[in-house]
Amino acid sequence: MAALTSVLGFSFFGLAARMGQLGIQHRNVMSNPSGHLIAMGVFGFAGYWAHVWTEYSSVLIAQKEAEIRERRSRLTTPSDS
């Protein structure tokens, strides 16, 4: 569900950016609907990769935290040697 919301959110942002671009140029907002679809697709793709990167980075952070906890537990417990 989070991937879908990321893709849709970024897609609608792309649509708004495209409409803002056409508004600044004083062009008809509905003159070229394929441009809207391209902008939505590009921004949706960026939203998908933002979601993928978020998932990947959270896994990396969890692994690194586990490594740090394991190292700290080795340092604080007295060894039996």
How confident is the model over 25-75, as pLDDT tens digits? Answer: 999 988 889 999 999 999 999 999 999 999 999 999 999 999 999 999 988
Residue positions counted in the chain: 81
**Does residue 53 lie within any of the structural domains?**
yes
Supply the range of the domain harboring residue 29.
Answer: 2-75
3 state DSSP class of 1: coil
pTM of the model: 0.75
**Does residue 81 lie within any of the structural domains?**
no
Count the domains in the chain. Answer: 1
**Does residue 44 lie within any of the structural domains?**
yes
Confirm if 36 and 12 have CB atoms less than 8 A apart.
Answer: no
**Does residue 24 lie within any of the structural domains?**
yes
**Does residue 80 lie within any of the structural domains?**
no
Q: Where are the alpha helices (DSSP H) in 25-78?
A: 33-76
CA–CA gap between residue 58 and residue 28 (Å, rounded): 43
Q: Other C-beta atoms within 10 Å of 60: how many? A: 10
Q: Is the pLDDT of residue 81 over 60?
A: no
